[in-house]
Amino acid sequence: DKTLSSVLHLNRDALSVRDTLNKRYRIPVDQTLVIQNVVRAELKSKVSSFLRRLRNDSELIIYYTGHAYLDAYGQPQLATKDFKLRNTQATGLPLRWLIAAIENSEAKDKLLFLDISHEGSGSDLKAQPSSEKMLMILEEDRQDPALRSLNVITSCRLGERGMRSDAGGHFSDAIASAYTGLADQNGDQRVSLAEVGEYVRNLVSKKSQGSQ
């Protein structure tokens, strides 16, 4: 949809996070998956197929970057290649679906980095609140909360947008930097959830001069 605001660095951001994890932890190729610029049905198929292969001792890390918008019912919809802003509900992939798919996987530890609110001035961004707000919407239903065992780190808080330099997004750069080992504060050769959360938050705030 050419009416959507352009974000030029998304592929670079995704590959930066993937390459850092592969290099640092020597993750086998068949245990990583990069999906770029696909239609909704293909994204669902590839994600589902990958998650079905996980064992109950697996540690799962997912980085999602791209556009997402609220539909007419106020629900977050991920914008895949065949997404149309004028028909958000019918063409978007519900963020709740992605979270539920991860929750239902056999992985022991699950972490989602959610990077879905980007810089720009296009009119489409009026329907794109912060990534934290989109997650909060899914948690409003206390009878059926979206999150059970999944941990989520969002790219920005309420009222913020994801910022970037000429090289790429501040959020993805901080994630990649964290997993080089710089977030390992206690030196145990493992980057814990608390460590990566604190490191990413502090580095993004520094790079954005407190704006993100």
The tens digit of pLDDT for each residue in 156-190 reads 999 999 999 888 899 999 999 999 999 999 999 88
- pLDDT bin (cut points 50, 70, 90) of residue 144 is confident
Total-model pTM = 0.95
* Phi, then psi, of 174 in degrees rounded to 5: -70, -40
Phi, psi of 143 (to 5 degrees): -75, -25
What burial letters (b/e) apply to 65-83, b meaning 16+ CB within 10 Å? bbbbbbbeeebbbbbbeeb
Burial class from Cβ neighbours inside 10 Å (0-12, 13-18, 19+) for residue 199 reads buried
Q: Residue 8: its pLDDT value, please?
A: 84
**Does the pLDDT at position 62 exceed 80?**
yes
Q: What pLDDT score was predicted for residue 107?
A: 96
What number is the average pLDDT over the span 55-59?
94
